[in-house]
Amino acid sequence: MSPQRKLLRVSPSRISLIQTPTPLHRLNRLSKLLNLDLWIKRDDLTGLALGGNKGRKLEYLMASVLAERADIVVTCGASQSNFIRQLGAACAMEGVRCAAAIMSMPYDEVRPNSISRMGYRGNLVLDQILGIELHPFTDGTWDELYAHAENIALAYETQGLKTYRIPIGGSSALGAYAFYEASKEITEPFDTIVFASSSGSTQTGLAHGFRGTGTRVLGIACDPEPEIAQDFAELSLELSREILGDTPLCASDYDLDFNYVGPGYGIPSAAGNAALELMARTEGIFLDPIYSAKAFSAVIDLAQKGSLTGKVLFWHTGGVPALFV
């Protein structure tokens, strides 16, 4: 169950972009197969530009964009970013230009052994239909990608455009607050909530939302770097200081499982692909191979090992265009 809510330090502005609350229902066949009381939260059905949980963040981020009277929004990400696609749709709805620096496969220190995904498929098709001003770059580190985005923002500013910068994945205090609010949609108790975790706002918001309850908030990491927990802690500090007025979470407070990343960020895994097929063939629901399929492969494995029991909620974060890459 959700904890009692206290007064916020600040109540962020919000505009309506998505359909909430998203459906929550039991997965009857998988519950029997996995010996769990397994439920699903359908953030793949938010309704904005083929759905996905990023729309939750954008309701708050775009309210800030409009309040700032920005001419253009600049962000960055991998070429198949779900966030860029939904950001572009939100900007189109509000008459704001949208630009993004993209790489096929950004990496941290070691370039992954993978095939380029920059081809005109999946989210890139939708990005171009939406009119997003895409700035592609040769694969490099995430820091290089962030630098490219900043240079693009500066270039727009030299043209006299008021530019609003949004960090990768929309992971900011506002983005995390969206998932703190999303936790209010869960009105019955669960032993565990499981979801794909990457840039941190989903896990940070839900962790704050379910703090003080008996519900375990388990993020299945889709990035292989353990130091992302420290990034999450910094996001929690921002959320606590600017909005919630509560005690921030430390890196050690986050329940993150790195055992299901597979070959690396942005690369499908064999276990994830098998989980994707199992969900489709038992419940008729499509997962995406980069995030939610890996998270669901963890549900399967942990249930079979007996380390995931009771009433479990799988939070489907969306990302269907990745199925067509």
* Strand-pair category, 192-197 with 311-316: parallel
81 is catalytic: yes
* Residue 115, Cβ density class (10 Å: 0-12 exposed, 13-18 middle, ≥19 buried): exposed
3-state secondary structure of 101: strand
Is residue 52 within 8 Å of residue 80, measured between CB atoms? no
| Given the residues 79, 81, 172, 197, the one annotated as active site | 81
Distance CA 98, CA 238 (A): 25
Is residue 200 within 8 Å of residue 235, measured between CB atoms? yes
CA angle 293, 289, 223 (to 5 degrees): 80
Question: Catalytic positions, please?
Answer: 81
